[in-house]
Structure 1
C-alpha cells in the first residue's frame, strides 16, 4: 500500500479543485485554485508542503489531462519539485461508481482522482521538453486547420458545381491559384462571357506563370464552356456570395498552413543549432523509414514525446491505439476484436497514411517497400484488406520502435535476412 499523502486535482477551464488525502485516505485539505491567480497557486503549494510536514512524506499529485487547461498548473507544481501524474479521463471514468450514491461534483471528483492514484500506483509524468511541446502544438494545429481546409474546399466545390459544373473541364484543380483567381473575379458563366478578354487572359497568365498562348487557349475554352452551361447555371445571390466567402476561407487557411509549416521548419533549424539537439537527430532517423516525410516524422516525435517511457514495442503499439481490444469473461473469449483506438488519434492518422505509402508502387512500378508490400499481399489472401493494412501499421510501429531504440537509420531487410542477422548476433554474444 502507498503510505504517502496524495493530492487529486480535478481540472476545469478557469479553476481546479484540489483534495489532499492522508495515508489513511481521509481528506485533510481542500481548495479551489483559480488558474489566473498566482496567489492561489502559492496557497496550494503551502498546503502541499504542510501535508509533507505532517506526514513526513512529499505528496504525490495526480490530475486529469484536460485539453490545455491542466498545463499551467502542471508546470507550476513541477517547478516546486512535486511529482505530478497526468492521467487519461478514460481512467478517471473507471472509478465514477466507486460510491453507491450518485454524486458528481468537482470536489468529489478531485477526491476520486486521488484514490485512483492510490489504487493503481500511476507513474510520474516527466516535465515535457519545451521544444517538443511547441512542436506538438504546431503539428496538432496544422492537422486541425488542414481538416478545416478540406471542409471549405468541399463546400466551395458544391457552389462551383451549381454555378458552372463544367468549370473543371478547364481547370481540373479548382483550388489552384489560377482557378481561384478566375472564380474570385468572374464567379458565373455570364460574367465570364462578358469579361474583357485581355484582362481575363492576363489573370490566367499571371497566376499560372505560363505562356500567353497557353493562357489564351484556356480563355477560349473557358468562354466556350461558360456559354454551354449558362442556361443551366444556378446563378443567384446566395451562391455568388457564398462562393466569395469560401474562396476567402480557403485562401486564409492555405496561408495559415504555410505559416505553421514555416514555424515547424524554423523550430527544427533552431534545434539543430543547439549544442545538444533533441529533435533533429530523431527526425532524420524517422525519415529514413519509407513513407515517412518531414511533417509525419515531426508529428511522431511531437506525439510520442519522451521515448524512454516505452520499454517495449507493445507499449508503443498501445500508445498508437492499434492494439487489439480484449473481450473475455468466464469461459467466453471474444474472437472478433477491433483496435482499441485509445491512443493518440493523430498518431494513428499519420501511421495509416504511412502504411498506405508502403504498400504502393513508384512511378517506375517498383514497390516503395517490397518487404511490407509482400507482407500485405500475403495477409490479404486470408484476411480482409483493412485487417491486412492494420497488420502493416502494426509492423511499422515495431520498425519505428527499433529505429528509435537503436538510434540507427532504417535498413530494408527481408524476414530471412533479419533472422540470419539475429542468429549471428546471438552467436557472437
Structure 2
C-alpha cells in the first residue's frame, strides 16, 4: 500500500475537458486489480491507448480508495464509465463499490487474447478501456455479441436475497441425489428384492425399514409388530405387503459375505443420516425462498402465470434486474430458448434451438412448460393447437412427431409474456414517487391472454400517438 501511495504522489494530474468522459477498464485479479484510463485528451497526449496511464491497486478498502482518488484527478464521477470482465466472483465487491459512487459499470465476457500478443495486466486493462471507449464514445458496432458491453444494473432486493439461496439449494439437491444413488446401489447389492415391494428404496418408509433392519436376515427374523411400528402411519404398505417383504428377505440373493455386509451397513447408516440432514436443510431453504417470493412483486407476477414459488425464485435470481435485458429476445437467449437459423444457399437451411444460455434456466423453463401444458391453461391450449397443425402424424408409432419444437415455441411466448409484465412493473416502480408506495403490479390475466389468442390484441404499453400534420388547401389571393 505504501508503494501505491508513493506512485500516486508522483502522478501529475491530467486535466480533462469539463464535459469529457473518462473510460476505465479494470483487469480483475484475486488479490490485486489493474485499472486503465482512456479518454480523448489522454489519447491525444499519448497517441495510442497502450500508452495511457494505469493504476495497480489492492482488492481492499484502501485499494478501492486509491482508485477513487486517481479517478478524481482525471474526471468527475458523473463523467466516468467502467468496464470489467465476468471472471468468477472477484469483481463483485468492486462493482458494488463503484455503483455506490454512481459510476456506471459495464460487463463483458472474457475475451480470448490474439495469438502472439504479450500478456500483461496493464495491456488487458487498457484494452478493456479502449473497448468501452469505442462502443460508447465512437459508437462502433461489433458483429460478435460476446464482445458487446452491457451495463450492470444492480439486482432487485428480492433477486439479491434469492441468488445465494437458490444456488445453495441447487448444490444441496445435487448432493442429496448423490446420496440417493449410493443408497440405491447398496440396496441392490444387499437386498435386491426390496424394490418389488417398495419401488423407491429411498422413500421415508423404505429408509426407516432399511435403517432398523439393514440386512435381509434382520428383516426376516423381525416380528410383525416391530415392522408395523417402524412403518408408522404410512398407508402405501399394508400388513400383507410386510409379510411378503419378509418372505422375499428369506429368499434374497443379496451378498452373504459378512465382512462385505458390515462395510455396506456402516456406509448405509452414514449416508442415511447425511440424506436426512440434507433434506432438512433443503426444506428450510424452500420455506425461506417461498416467503421471499410471495412478498416480492416479481414473485407475484410470475406466480400469476402458473409458475411455482421455487421456479419463480430461480427465474428472479437468474434475471437479477429486468433492466439488464433490452428486449425479450435477449432474455430468451439468456435462458437458452431462442431460435438459431443456419442458412447457406440452397444446401443448408435449418432452424433449431440455441446452444447458448445458462443450463439451469434452460432446464427450468422446460420443466415449467411441461407442467403448464398438463393443466387447464392457455399455454396448454396453445400447445395442443400447434401440435395438431405443426406436428405430422406418424402411422408407424401412432404419435405426432416434433413435439419438442412446439415446447420451444411455447417457452418462447412464455418468456415474452414474462418479460412484458416484468418490464412494465419496472417502469411503474421507476415512475413512483420516493415517499409513496408504488401501485399494485400488473398480473397475468388468463382472460386477456385468451382474447389475445383470438385476435383481440391489447398491448401492455400505451403507444404514443404522433401528431399528424394536416395540409390545408392553398387559397388564392
2:303 counterpart (281, 287, 310): 287
1:82 counterpart (78, 103, 108): 103
What displacement does 1:301 show?
2.1
**Structure 2 CA distance for partners of 1:79 and 1:422, relative to 1, 3 Å:** closer
Distance in 2 of aligned mates of 1:268 and 1:135: 9
**Structure 2 CA distance for partners of 1:378 and 1:152, relative to 1, 3 Å:** farther
Matches within 5 A, 1:19-418: 19-23=36-40, 24=43, 25-35=49-59, 37-52=60-75, 58-89=79-110, 92-93=111-112, 96-97=113-114, 101-121=116-136, 122-195=149-222, 197-205=224-232, 208=233, 216-230=239-253, 236-268=261-293, 272=295, 279=296, 281-290=297-306, 292-325=307-340, 327=342, 334-360=348-374, 369-381=380-392, 384-405=402-423, 407-411=442-446, 413-414=449-450, 417-418=453-454
Could you give the per-residue CA deviations for residues 374-427 of structure 1, whole angstroms, max 9, x where no partner exists? Answer: 22343332863332322222122123234334523231545875413459x99x
Distance in 2 of aligned mates of 1:177 and 1:367: 37
State the secondary structure of the residue aligned to 1:52: coil
What displacement does 1:182 show?
1.9
State the secondary structure of the residue aligned to 1:51: coil
The answer (yes or no) to whether the contact 1:10–1:18 under 8 Å persists in 2 is: yes
Distance in 1 of aligned mates of 2:443 and 2:265: 56
Q: Does 1:11 align with 2:38?
A: no
Could you give the per-residue CA deviations for residues 249-271 of structure 1, whole angstroms, max 9, x where no partner exists? Answer: 322221121121122134346xx
What displacement does 1:61 show?
0.7
Distance in 2 of aligned mates of 1:160 and 1:312: 51
Q: Name whichever of 238-247 and 126-135 sits farther off.
A: 238-247
Distance in 2 of aligned mates of 1:182 and 1:370: 45
State the secondary structure of the residue aligned to 1:203: helix
Structure 2: runs of 5+ lacking an equivalent: 1-18, 44-48, 137-148, 394-400, 425-441, 466-477
Structure 1: runs of 5+ lacking an equivalent: 273-278
State the secondary structure of the residue aligned to 2:102: coil
What displacement does 1:125 show?
1.8
Distance in 1 of aligned mates of 2:26 and 2:193: 59
**Structure 2 CA distance for partners of 1:239 and 1:123, relative to 1, 3 Å:** same
The answer (yes or no) to whether the contact 2:190–2:215 under 8 Å persists in 1 is: yes
Distance in 2 of aligned mates of 1:46 and 1:390: 51
The answer (yes or no) to whether the contact 2:189–2:254 under 8 Å persists in 1 is: no
Higher helix share: 1
State the secondary structure of the residue aligned to 1:240: helix
Distance in 2 of aligned mates of 1:31 and 1:153: 52
Distance in 2 of aligned mates of 1:415 and 1:14: 57
Distance in 2 of aligned mates of 1:252 and 1:105: 47
What displacement does 1:38 show?
1.2
Could you give the per-residue CA deviations for residues 210-265 of structure 1, whole angstroms, max 9, x where no partner exists? Answer: 69xx6644532321121121465675344333323332332222112112112213
Distance in 2 of aligned mates of 1:415 and 1:158: 53
**Number of corresponding residues:** 398
